[in-house]
Structure 1
């Protein structure tokens, strides 16, 4: 009898485990990625070669006495900036972080490198970054309670002329992300720490700064430090039909500048 009971208990345990295992599900889905405003807008002007310089975390976030000294936030911000700038269709963004790897691959392929120089360097900083948790409760928590995780970021961008080191344009972008959960009379969910908010709010702030940059570019706000720079920026919308396929970017810019000088 005792052996029969052990057998039944063992069988029920096995069945229960099988039932639980059978309830496990796996799902996946692709998520839309938000791009800058000009990403889907047709543009027929000249793309200017730019390089992205230093991008540091100047906020107090992750810079305490226990920090390991690795600027992960600044590196993340630089990657986001490069992506958004390339998606604007206004710039040819030049990679300066993987020069050794690019050189090695060119050597393997026996291809002579023809590196392009930048007209401008984009530098910037994460000037503000932080997180906070905000909570509230109804009737000392008996009727319900809520919790919000809030992340805030602010970035600054500077456009520097490589010939004169003059900062020809500056802009900032800021953003805030909030994750809220509420529990009412014992019902509802509570959210644990969401580390993805850091990347989301940084992407939002950077996207806003790049949008500001493109708006200023399209309106002619970038005048540089010389008449040539001013004329070039004013003629970025030269129709594609007026551009020749065999021209280099430098020759194309020079021709556009000469056309602008000749026009009354």
Structure 2
């Protein structure tokens, strides 16, 4: 009898340990998924505000520097793993109001729009000759400006200027006929250095605001929300449901403000479906609270 009791106790302890481990794993998975929820970002093509018109600064559209700057920024932000970069169809458009109108018309829901310009660019070549050698130093310098627009409000919430320089020094013997050629890569490196100087500030500002998603539909007791596994929404994640705050008018500025939302419940993610990052949705179950009003009066957050 004592042997049976000891065996039964050991089995109960094993099941309890497995249950605790499963709960711990679930909490860890949920926390990891919430920590990696990605914001959706669109980058407008940078305008070229420099006065240079040399061939290496322009392409078929007349602006090579602007395209380089926007492409480099997009790559660096995507490399952080915190954002989903949206490739706009109106790549040549640089006006923020027209871009926001185009995004709304296309039904594309992004969190932020980045607008920028290459404000300065220059190159120089210095040569120094000594008795037995000759040194040629090529320099490229770039300065970029970025503005971060909150798509939900249409307001610029952050702006910054970044500068970068790239240098290539080569040596050759005086009696030789070889000379260092023009280093085209310095242009890319200078712009990349200028972009790199402000990426961390952009990331910080875009991740300060809590992640949001929205209720799209209700089907047979299951609520469908925007976003899925590609955006970091993991199976089993618990997300909070908020009722949107009241929208008021600030008479001092003439701007409309949305008051903070109120938490009314929670949902559990049961699965995701979609062909790509921007069409993906998740099926969820309401596990706490109740949704009694139209779905557009609510939003989803991980906080």
Above 0.5 in TM-score?
yes
Q: In the aligned structure 2, how far is the partner of 1:43 from the partner of 1:202?
A: 33
Instruction: Indicate the SS of the match to 1:182.
Output: strand
Q: From the superposition, tell whether residues 171 and 43 of structure 1 become closer, same or farther in structure 2 (CA, over 3 Å).
A: farther
Q: In the aligned structure 2, how far is the partner of 1:217 from the partner of 1:118?
A: 12
CA-CA distance at 1:148 after TM superposition:
0.4
Q: Kindly indicate whether residue 41 of structure 2 is the aligned counterpart of residue 50 of structure 1.
A: yes
Structure 2 counterpart of 1:160, from 125, 132, 149: 149
Q: Which string of whole-angstrom CA distances, capped at 9 and with x for unpartnered residues, describes residues 111-152 of structure 1? A: xxx9541122110011111110011223xxx34321101011
Structure 1 residue runs of 4 or more that deviate by more than 6 Å after TM superposition? none
Q: Which residue number in structure 2 is paired with residue 254 of structure 1? A: 299
Q: In the aligned structure 2, how far is the partner of 1:43 from the partner of 1:132?
A: 48
Q: Which string of whole-angstrom CA distances, capped at 9 and with x for unpartnered residues, describes residues 168-217 of structure 1? A: 11223222111111234536953111112212222222233223312444
Q: Which string of whole-angstrom CA distances, capped at 9 and with x for unpartnered residues, describes residues 74-132 of structure 1? A: 12222222222222212111111379xxxxxxxxxxxxxx9541122110011111110
Q: Kindly indicate whether residue 71 of structure 2 is the aligned counterpart of residue 82 of structure 1.
A: no
Q: In the aligned structure 2, how far is the partner of 1:185 from the partner of 1:74?
A: 39
Question: Comparing both structures, which one devotes a greater share of its residues to helix?
Answer: 1
Instruction: Indicate the SS of the match to 1:60.
Output: coil
Instruction: Indicate the SS of the match to 1:203.
Output: helix
Q: In the aligned structure 2, how far is the partner of 1:202 from the partner of 1:96?
A: 22
State whether residues 43 and 89 of structure 1, in contact with CA within 8 Å, keep that contact through their aligned partners in structure 2: no
Q: Which residue number in structure 2 is paired with residue 91 of structure 1? A: 83
Structure 2 counterpart of 1:214, from 203, 211, 219: 203
Identify the structure with bigger relative contact order (alpha carbons < 8 Å, sequence gap 6+).
1
The alignment of Structure 1 onto Structure 2 pairs a total of residues equal to 183
Q: Which residue number in structure 1 is paired with residue 172 of structure 2? A: 183
Q: Which residue number in structure 1 is paired with residue 18 of structure 2? A: none
Q: From the superposition, tell whether residues 150 and 74 of structure 1 become closer, same or farther in structure 2 (CA, over 3 Å).
A: same
Q: Which residue number in structure 2 is paired with residue 136 of structure 1? A: 128
Q: In the aligned structure 2, how far is the partner of 1:76 from the partner of 1:88?
A: 19
State whether residues 63 and 69 of structure 1, in contact with CA within 8 Å, keep that contact through their aligned partners in structure 2: no
State whether residues 182 and 189 of structure 1, in contact with CA within 8 Å, keep that contact through their aligned partners in structure 2: no
Q: Kindly indicate whether residue 183 of structure 2 is the aligned counterpart of residue 194 of structure 1.
A: yes
- Any unmatched runs of 5+ in structure 2? 1-32, 92-105, 213-231, 240-267, 273-280, 283-294
State whether residues 139 and 168 of structure 2, in contact with CA within 8 Å, keep that contact through their aligned partners in structure 1: yes
What is the TM-score when the length of structure 1 is the normalising length? 0.57
Q: From the superposition, tell whether residues 190 and 86 of structure 1 become closer, same or farther in structure 2 (CA, over 3 Å).
A: same
More divergent stretch after superposition (54-63 vs 116-125):
54-63
Q: In the aligned structure 2, how far is the partner of 1:95 from the partner of 1:175?
A: 26
The two structures, once aligned, show a CA RMSD in angstroms of 3.7
Q: In the aligned structure 1, how far is the partner of 2:233 from the partner of 2:71?
A: 31
Instruction: Indicate the SS of the match to 1:180.
Output: strand
Instruction: Indicate the SS of the match to 1:255.
Output: strand
Structure 1 counterpart of 2:111, from 109, 115, 119: 119
